[in-house]
Amino acid sequence: MPDISVVLPSILQPLAGGQSVLTAPVDGPVTVAKLLDSVTADFAVLARRLRDETGALRRFVNVYVDGDEVRRLQGLETEVAPGQEVLVIQSVAGG
Amino acid sequence: MVGMATTESFVLAIGTKKGLWLATSPDRRTWSFTGPHFLMSEIPSIGIDTRDGRTRIMVGVRNEHWGPTVAHSDDLGATWSEPEQGAIKFPEDTGAALERIWQIYPDAESRPGVVWAGAEPISVWKSTDGGEHFELNRGLWDHPHRSDWGAGYGGAAAHSIVVHPQRDTVHVAMSTGGVYRSLDGGTSWEARNKGISAYFMPDPNPEFGQCVHKIAADAAVDGRLYAQNHHGVYRTDDNAESWTSIAEGLPADFGFVMLTHPRRQGTAWVVPLKADGERIPPNGELAVHRTDDAGGTWKRLDKGLPTGEYNSVLRDAASVDSAEPAGVYFGTRGGTVYASADEGETFTEVAAHLPDVLCVRAAVVAGA
């Protein structure tokens, strides 16, 4: 089955067992929300770092699909197809 | 059993805008520091739980990117634990998400394992497993006043929790909303702000809506509490049925801190700031003020404190310990922390050049 890769920033990799890339096997397009559900299923703390308990993406967490930030697309409902790459990057924020 | 006198030591926890520092001391004069823990995350709340024969340090952590969480350590910060699913998590039906943990409050010796938390959005939580999992207090969450509660500059939060050590009386203070009291352990809540001014509202004496910055209970007089308000310092002797001003004698009635003595009646400490619009120590002269007669008179305490200090002291950036005489500790937004081993008569600087100090807690612990 093809899969979709989610690339994590180094600061989050300890929460994914040291992995820099998580993959989810899919048999067709899925939403970013479902993709995050899948790749964080075994990493509950990682899941909480990315989204709050309502499921919303945290304000300064950016998710890119093929270079486009999902807030500029359909948010977490943006569809991702097998073979595409998803990047999680913290935004430039803080003081 | 080992004698307390030979094994007591002191723990000081300093939560800042960019991490946590921990210090231990055998005598409250020399301190050994570790940190920063949780570098680049703010630590707005700390609870040190010395019940059950262990020292558990619980911290509210908030990272600008990765959100809030609660962590705890049973080995003075050598290791930290965080429940997989999170210790504080809003139930799905609320549609709410945790923003920040403002208060972590271990309950009395008589209720081991019970820990309370206050959070933003305005909410109160209770744990019965030593702070590893908290349950939302539905009585306050569903309170009919909720839609009228507001946000102060720092956010809308329940920041003060005072629990009666024997009875089911709980007082909570929130900004803005004021003081709420429960007589049934938190099932139902009523506003209790009579006498506290809300000068910033059209009706300056509303039932609720006050911006009470901090409340603390008198350890020895049942039904007596003290409040530092957004302008105004108050005392109640009737379990918050009514409040009267005790600000006379202070250089300013604005401030955030309210501390009470761990045992002695009538003793409380405040750190006055000039005004709402000028949140600095009056004339830039930092001083703690202590009353020993429940607010009848105040004594200025500034020995060991600098002049020319223009940083404020936030509501939880101050603490007392339970030693005799009691220790008094506080930190500034300029990152300096002061400690007194004699109830505020003299202070020494124990840390400087830290990030903004958000929370300070101190405790007497066995060993360490």
Which chain B residue lies closest to A55 (C-alpha atoms)? B97
| Pairwise CA distance, residues B177 & B124, whole Å | 14
Do B58 and B44 touch, CB atoms closer than 8 A?
Answer: no
B84 touches chain A (CB under 8 A): yes
CA distances from A64 to A73, A86, B106 (A): 10, 6, 42
Q: In the 8-state DSSP scheme, what is residue B244?
A: E
- Looking at the complex, report in whole angstroms how far the Cα of residue A41 sits from the nearest Cα belonging to chain B: 11
Residues of chain B positioned with their CB less than 8 A from the CB of A50 = 66
- Looking at the complex, report in whole angstroms how far the Cα of residue B340 sits from the nearest Cα belonging to chain A: 32
| Pairwise CA distance, residues B132 & B72, whole Å | 8
First to last CA, chain B: 16
Q: What does DSSP say about strands A3-7 and B42-49: parallel, antiparallel, or unpaired?
A: unpaired
Residues of chain B positioned with their CB less than 8 A from the CB of A49 = 63, 65-67
Interface touch A91/B86, C-beta < 8 Å: no
- Looking at the complex, report in whole angstroms how far the Cα of residue B66 sits from the nearest Cα belonging to chain A: 4
| Pairwise CA distance, residues B334 & B331, whole Å | 8
Q: In the 8-state DSSP scheme, what is residue B41?
A: S
Q: Which residue's entry shows tokens 């989204």?
A: A51
Residues of chain B positioned with their CB less than 8 A from the CB of A44 = 84-85
What are the tokens at B124? 């109160």
Q: What is the DSSP string of B288-322?
A: EEEESSTTSS-EEE-TTPPBS------TTSEEE-S
Interface touch B86/A58, C-beta < 8 Å: no
Residue in A45, A50, A94 nearest the CB of B84:
A45
**Residue B309, CB half-sphere, CA atoms under 13 Å: how many?**
26
| Pairwise CA distance, residues B213 & B249, whole Å | 20
pLDDT of residue B124: 98
A53 touches chain B (CB under 8 A): yes
pLDDT digit of tens for each residue in chain B (368 aa)?
A: 334 445 789 999 999 999 999 999 999 999 999 999 999 999 999 999 999 889 999 999 999 999 999 999 999 999 999 999 999 999 999 999 999 999 999 999 999 999 999 999 999 999 999 999 999 999 999 999 999 998 877 789 999 999 999 999 999 999 989 999 999 999 999 999 999 998 888 888 899 999 999 999 999 999 999 999 999 999 999 999 999 999 999 999 999 999 999 999 999 999 999 988 899 999 999 999 999 999 999 999 999 999 899 999 999 999 999 999 999 999 999 999 999 999 999 999 999 999 999 999 999 998 76
Q: Complex ipTM, two decimals? A: 0.93
